Amino acid sequence: MVESEVPAVSFTNVHRHFGMVRAVDGVSFDIVDGEFFSILGPSGSGKTTCLRLIAGFDQPTAGRIMIHGQTTRGVPPYERDVNTVFQDYALFPHMTVMDNVAYGLMVKKVAKADQRRRALEMLEMVKLADMGGRKPAQLSGGQRQRVALARALINRPRVLLLDEPLGALDLKLRQQMQIELKALQRQVGITFIYVTHDQEEALIMSDRIAVFNVGRIEQIGTPGEIYERPATAFVAGFVGVSNLLTGEIAARITGSNTAFSVRPEKIRLAEPGNPAPEGSCTAEGEIHNVVYLGAASRYVVALDGGGELIVIEQNLNKSAAQVAASLGQRVRLAWDRRHNQPLADGEPGP
Ligand code: ADP
Ligand code: MG
């Protein structure tokens, strides 16, 4: 194996049990060096526990964790080439922004002039070069999170762990920081392991995503694979709107009673009885709910004979009034059957 093929972090059948609770329950994955890797799952699915195991704040009950090909057994946190950014920033309130950022170098007894130079470089990187003299309380939430990032990166760790770092920010700022974080990760080329419960955030930023559910991995893949080819009902429901059809209803539409999901933007609305193109699946029903979203509208269609599908359609020609008037109308749905994603057994996500 050449150097670059050694995974940045590798889990082999890792368990972490707390009494009866299997916080991490037999997890295996390899994270590629330089990758933006997200751990996505609902609250309590074991995400933070995985990060703590990598950082060395906690030890596995069983299994093996390697960092850059080296065993982590018996290696304390400060000897691992890893740093962590938490949701609550954990900045020192009495210290200036500059001193907060330089802290890691001060601990290592790096010369004062070098501390300042490198801290300033970091502050420039996170666009806070003119804020070095302020105290954390004089910054906005987004600025504080940037300081936390600069502080975590100053020691040039090879792996950065981020535990829901944008969770405390409002939506607009979070969206802006998502783009900035991704750009920053490309720029520094460090492996990012990013924990979030926000599916959109994971889709936007990640090279690959591991979807967690009660301590286990349901699927690992690129954002496109996770969204377009969810492996389980849980993934289909947790990442996006699932439109899950099972049993008799599935059989009526596809000819097979295998459960499947189809994404709402793949489905087209038309008048009942309208012929559909070759290779389509079709179903008829009634619009039971409609929400005008500005650029698009979201329709809930109750299918004849049971089940419902959500359809998202761009408002190309329809006005808000026309969209609202469609409530209660009968429609025919059609979609390319290649968009059907058969699902393994499992419970749908929330
Ligand atoms: P997440 O970060 O995905 O929300 P966690 O990794 O924090 O989930 O927790 C996973 C599960 O392990 C939860 O059921 C949680 O209550 C449990 N857990 C985590 N840490 C401890 C601990 N120190 N003692 C007991 N149970 C814990
Ligand atoms: Mg957590």
pLDDT (tens digit per residue) in 261-287: 999 999 999 999 888 899 999 999 999
State in Å: Cα 47 to ligand 2 middle. 6
Task: Specify the fold of 9-238.
Answer: Rossmann fold (3.40.50)
Task: Specify the fold of 263-338.
Answer: OB fold (Dihydrolipoamide Acetyltransferase, E2P) (2.40.50)
Q: Pull the structure tokens for residue 317.
A: 């020609």
Q: Is 48 in the pocket of ligand 1 (CB under 6 A)?
A: yes
Counting ligands in written order, which one lies closest to the CA of residue 215? Answer: 1
- Ligand 1 atom nearest to 49, measured from its CA: 6
Q: Report how far residue 187's alpha carbon sits from residue 154's, in angstroms, rounded to the nearest whole number.
A: 14
Q: Is 129 in the pocket of ligand 1 (CB under 6 A)?
A: no
**Residue-wise burial string across 251-261, b where 16 or more C-beta atoms lie within 10 A, e elsewhere:** ebbbeeeebbb
State in Å: Cα 197 to ligand 2 middle. 9
State in Å: Cα 129 to ligand 2 middle. 31
Q: Pull the structure tokens for residue 180.
A: 């900035």
Q: Report how far residue 266's alpha carbon sits from residue 233's, in angstroms, rounded to the nearest whole number.
A: 18
Q: Does the structure show a pLDDT above 50 at 297? A: yes
Q: What is the pLDDT of residues 30-42, one digit of tens each?
A: 999 999 999 999 9
Phi, psi of 111 (to 5 degrees): -55, 145
Q: Is residue 333 within 8 Å of 269, Cβ to Cβ?
A: yes
> 1: pLDDT confidence band, cut at 50, 70 and 90?
very low
State in Å: Cα 109 to ligand 2 middle. 33
> 168: pLDDT confidence band, cut at 50, 70 and 90?
confident
> 303: pLDDT confidence band, cut at 50, 70 and 90?
very high
Query: Residue 301 to residues 10, 287, 332, 338: CA-CA distances in angstroms?
Result: 45, 4, 10, 21
Counting ligands in written order, which one lies closest to the CA of residue 25? Answer: 1
- Ligand 1 atom nearest to 51, measured from its CA: 6
- Please, where in the chain does CATH 3.40.50.300 lie? 9-238
List the beta bridge partners of residue 314.
296
State in Å: Cα 23 to ligand 1 middle. 6
Mean pLDDT (whole number) for 137-143: 90
Write down how long the chain is: 350
- Please, where in the chain does CATH 2.40.50.140 lie? 263-338
Q: Report how far residue 71's alpha carbon sits from residue 265's, in angstroms, rounded to the nearest whole number.
A: 46
Which pLDDT belongs to residue 2? 52
Nearest residue (CA) to ligand 1, atom 1 = 44
- Ligand 1 atom nearest to 212, measured from its CA: 3
- Ligand 1 atom nearest to 163, measured from its CA: 2
Neighbouring C-beta atoms of residue 212, cutoff 10 Å: 27
Q: Does the structure show a pLDDT above 90 at 62? A: yes
Which pLDDT belongs to residue 343? 85
Which pLDDT belongs to residue 240? 82
State in Å: Cα 151 to ligand 2 middle. 21
Beta strands at 21-31 and 9-18: parallel, antiparallel or unpaired: antiparallel
Q: Is 40 in the pocket of ligand 1 (CB under 6 A)?
A: no
Query: What is the rounded average pLDDT for all residues in the chain?
Result: 92
Q: Is residue 27 within 8 Å of 176, Cβ to Cβ?
A: no
- Which range is least confidently modeled, 124-128, 212-216, 261-265, 281-285? 124-128
Q: Pull the structure tokens for residue 207.
A: 């090279």
Nearest residue (CA) to ligand 1, atom 21 = 18
Q: Does the structure show a pLDDT above 90 at 4? A: no
Radius of gyration of the chain (CA): 24
